[in-house]
Each structure stands twice: as C-alpha cells, then as structure tokens.
Amino acid sequence: MSINATQTMSLLQSMLREQSRPAAEQTTSTVSSRFSDRLDAAIDRGTVPAEASPEAVQHAAELLQLTSLRSSLELLADQHEADGTAALPLASLSASGAASTISPLNSYLANLADAATRPAGQTNRQAVPEQEVEPGPRAPEQVERRASRLSDASQSGAIEQTISKASQRYGVDAGLIKAVIKAESNFNPRAVSSAGAQGLMQLMPATARGLGVSNSFDPEQNVMAGTRFLKGLLDRYNGDLDSALAAYNWGPGNVDRRPDRLPRETREYLVKVKQYYSAFTA
C-alpha cells in the first residue's frame, strides 16, 4: 500500500508534538530517532504500482519528500554530534539555523491537511487572475493583405491627385479622364494590352516616347501624358467627343481616313467610356 496524505500528516504531527515538549525531556537524537523509525516503517510499506496512476505518482512524490526530510534530520543530528552538542534540544534548533527545516515542515503539514480533506481528483491550484491576452502576431498572408489594402488606398489617392492636376493643366474634365482610365485599364497602373499598350491610360510605346514619357507604368507620367494626348485629339476634332475618343482607341489616322467605318470594338469603346463619364460626373 502507498502512503496517503493523512498518514504522512500524522507522522509529521507526531514530530511537532515532540518539538513542543519541554527541552529537558527531549534531544535532537531522540526526536530524530523516533521520527526516523516511524518514517522507515511507513516508507517500507509504500509501493508504487507498475502502471502508475496519478494517485500513485502523488504518493511516490510524498515518499520522496519524507525520505528527504528524514535525511535532513539525520544530517542535523550528525552535525550536532560532531560539534559536541548532541543533546541540543529540538526547541532551540531555530536559534542554530534549523528554522529553515522546521518551517517547511509546518508548511508541508498545512498542505497535507488540505489534501486529506480535499475531494479526490481536485488539485490544489491557486487562483490566478485572468490576464488580458494580447493579440498574437498576424499571419503572413494577413499582413500582406493589410499592406496591400494600405498600398491600394495610398495609390488611389495619388492617382486622384494626378487626375486633378492633369485636368487643371490641360483643361480636360476630370470625369472624362477617369472614364478613359476605367475603360482602358480599370485603374491598374501595371496593365499591358495584347497590342502592347501600357499603364493607366494604355499608351502605346511610340506614343509615350513622343510625349516624353520615360516610364509608362509611372501613374503620374502616364496620366499627364495621356491627358495631354486626349486634349490634342479634342482640339483636333473641334471638341467632338465621339471623334476624339474613337481616335484615342483606333488611332487618329484611321479616323481621318474612314470616320464612317469605325470597327465594332471602337463603337463599343465609345459607349462604354461615355457611360463611365456620365457616372463619374453624376
């Protein structure tokens, strides 16, 4: 059988009772001997099952603690015998530096008393105040999405400012510039068409070079140059929006030669841009 909390507490209480007796009636060696004998008997009876349950592990831990206490008492007795003070009463041990041994005994007794009265399976855990859990670090994809949203918002604001700047410089309605950008690239500054047109307003490389653009994927360069090109077309066709937009999509040379034979793609482009233009100016 294993040593339970009640048995262990009984052993330790007997030691403390010995401690409380008058100094003349007890010595360190006699108390140590009595307590050691009881511990020997209790420990010799303690066994741990082969398949250790939580209770068996607890009992084994108690046995280890009892063995350590017995060793501490024996060491104290040996020390006093070596010093010629074998008859030092246990009551005066605190004055000799043994309080560090008696104090843990009292604490251990209190824990054992609690364990003896506690329902089976219940652990002696101190209540720990709940702490506010700080948000953990974001997952990489969450950080990337958040950074992407911030980048998109910043880029959108920069494009709006560039459109406003181009509108004021070239006298082209900002709603019309937005409508062309929406139809051409859907506000994607990295857009490239199958024909090789690039950027927000889908400038062909030759047209971009003619307008002094060094990087068609730079939103400001692209929008400023595209608006300048659109303004030139409006002036060329005396403000006729359909002709200017058709020339922007199909090329001014084609419109000049065959103004009545616009391809289907260009006709659909005109409808789409004017719809966007109406929405942006509503």
Angle CA 106–32–43, to nearest 5: 80
Q: Active site residue: 18, 130, 134, 184, which one?
A: 184
Distance between CA atoms of 247 and 136, rounded to whole angstroms? 56
CA atoms within 13 A on the CB side of 176: 20
Contact (Cβ atoms closer than 8 angstroms) between residue 197 and residue 204: yes
DSSP designation for 93? G
Six-digit token pair at 180?
């062309």
Tell me the C-alpha distance between 132 and 136, whole Å: 12
Q: Structure tokens of 218?
A: 């730079």
- As given in the structure block, the two tokens for residue 164 are 């406003």
Q: Is 262 helix (H, G, I), strand (E, B) or coil?
A: coil
| C-alpha gyration radius of the chain | 47
Asked if 180 contacts 231 with a C-beta cutoff of 8 angstroms, the reply is no
**Known catalytic membership, residue 184:** yes
Q: Looking at the annotation, which residues are catalytic?
A: 184
